[in-house]
Amino acid sequence: MNPAEPLNLEMRKIVAPEFIFGLDARRLALRYIKNLSLEKVFIASDKGTLEAGWTKEILKLLRESSVPHELFLDISPNPRDHEVMKGAALYQKTGCDSILAIGGGSVIDCAKGVGIVVSNGANILEYKGIDKIAYPMPPLICIPTTGGTSADVSQFAIINDCKRKVKIAIISKSVVPDVALIDPLVLTSMDAYLTACTGIDALVHSIEAYVSNASSVITDLYALESIKLIHACLIPCIKDLKNVDLRGKIMLASLYAGLAFSNASLGCVHAMAHSLGGYLDLPHGECNAMLLPFVVEYNYESAAFKYEDIARIFGLALENLSIPERKNLFSETLLKFKNAAGITASLKEKGIKKEDIPLLAEKALNDPCTITNPRKPTFEDLKNIYLRSL
């Protein structure tokens, strides 16, 4: 921020976990388990992370130290409500007293869901919304294996309501993990496309947090730094997947983005991406990438100054342009950036039809992420954005 400018002193709540950022941070899981005197650990992971070797490594550490644990791998890329309930039942049956999540956003969100259910009871879907969770969950340690989701630091958990085919957002301080072990090395096993999707997801987190109507100087700091890092490092990282330095910067960007959006919330990109993910089970990062430019177009005038800050980071010269011109230039830049990252498909190519749009729009309209969009969308607005994204 500019010290010369007046400071907005409206009260803001900031939540964040204890986190350790750096190489081999993941290996501190054992130390935390012992220090917290945890007797039996529920390990949430997925087959992808298992095959990549990260889960096996941690399991080996636990076995060598005779730490009792229970492994749960039945987690889909968009975690389902029944998967959460199955995990919770296994947690209780096996007498666990803590959760260790090793994986991407899906794994961490499912783990959060399990934690909510085992400490508060009832079905996970009943906790949809903001501040609906009374009791803290058991100790939750997260080892994120993607650079983008930031679920390891956020107060958000996104769960798929399979019956209604919609993603629900659970937002609460109680959802913030106890410890996040953020280790850039784990990103080196991600392929190019996954790197692109998760990187763009982080970018959208930071952009939406920056322009959110709940943003603050504190969250803005993290959002802008995140955007800078992603803009500079994502494409090179995609081209040099084993570069630990670049992976580190992307991981840092993801962390910053998480700290930002966790406390400023998001906007229509995520609302509409949640709708797509719930209805058609499309990958979250991809949906964000496909929708971003069009939502920016829709929002631009409502947060012009903020979008211009981002545009400057992208290296755009906006001085002599009108607002519509700046809007077009910025949204096109974002489109190109997304394409350069390798995400080139449109919604149409992903199987979305015109007939799907009204239902998609309806679900998006009721997503809590719309609350903090800089422009309050209507049903028609959302339908139009979907149409433009086809």
Q: Does residue number 11 form part of the binding site for another protein (CB under 8 A)?
A: yes
Least distance from another protein to the Cβ atom of residue 7, Å: 16
Q: Which is nearer to another protein, 254 or 265 (CB)?
A: 265
Q: Does residue number 362 form part of the binding site for another protein (CB under 8 A)?
A: yes
Count of residues touching another protein (by CB under 8 A) = 30
Q: How far apart are CA 69 and CA 98, in angstroms?
A: 9
Q: Does residue number 371 form part of the binding site for another protein (CB under 8 A)?
A: yes
- For the chain, what is the radius of gyration of the CA atoms? 20
Instruction: Name which position in 26, 372, 374, 385 contacts another protein (CB under 8 A).
Output: 372
Least distance from another protein to the Cβ atom of residue 207, Å: 17
Q: Which is nearer to another protein, 123 or 378 (CB)?
A: 378
Helices (H) and strands (E) in the chain, counts: 14, 9
Helix (H) or strand (E) holding 161, with range, is: strand 156-161
Site string for another protein, 85-114 (x = CB under 8 A): ------------------------------
Q: Between the CA atoms of 217, 146, 184 and 1, what dihedral angle is there, to the nearest 10 degrees?
A: -10
Least distance from another protein to the Cβ atom of residue 67, Å: 19
Q: Which is nearer to another protein, 12 or 27 (CB)?
A: 12
Segment near another protein (CB under 8 A), from 90-98, 176-184, 221-229, 368-376?
368-376
Burial of 251 (0-12, 13-18, 19+ CB in 10 A): buried
Q: Are 368 and 158 spatial neighbours (Cβ–Cβ below 8 Å)?
A: no
| Alpha carbon distances (Å) from 240 to 246, 264, 353 | 8, 32, 36
Handedness of CA 23, 46, 246, 331 (dihedral sign): negative
Segment near another protein (CB under 8 A), from 47-55, 61-69, 281-289, 364-372?
364-372
Q: How far apart are CA 143 and CA 357, in angstroms?
A: 36
Q: Does residue number 217 form part of the binding site for another protein (CB under 8 A)?
A: no
Least distance from another protein to the Cβ atom of residue 287, Å: 20
Q: Which is nearer to another protein, 75 or 175 (CB)?
A: 175
Q: Count the helix, strand and coil residues of the chain and give each as a percent rounded to the nearest 5.
A: 55, 10, 30
Instruction: Name which position in 16, 214, 316, 329 contacts another protein (CB under 8 A).
Output: 214
Q: Which of 367, 389, 365, 369 is nearest to 377 (CA)?
A: 365
Q: Does residue number 376 form part of the binding site for another protein (CB under 8 A)?
A: yes
* Total length of the chain: 390
Q: Which is nearer to another protein, 85 or 214 (CB)?
A: 214
Q: How many CA atoms lie within 13 A of 127 on its CB side?
A: 32
Q: Which is nearer to another protein, 42 or 127 (CB)?
A: 127
Q: Which residues bind to another protein, rule: CB under 8 A?
A: 11-13, 129-136, 171-174, 213-214, 216, 263, 265, 362, 365-366, 368, 370-372, 376, 378-379
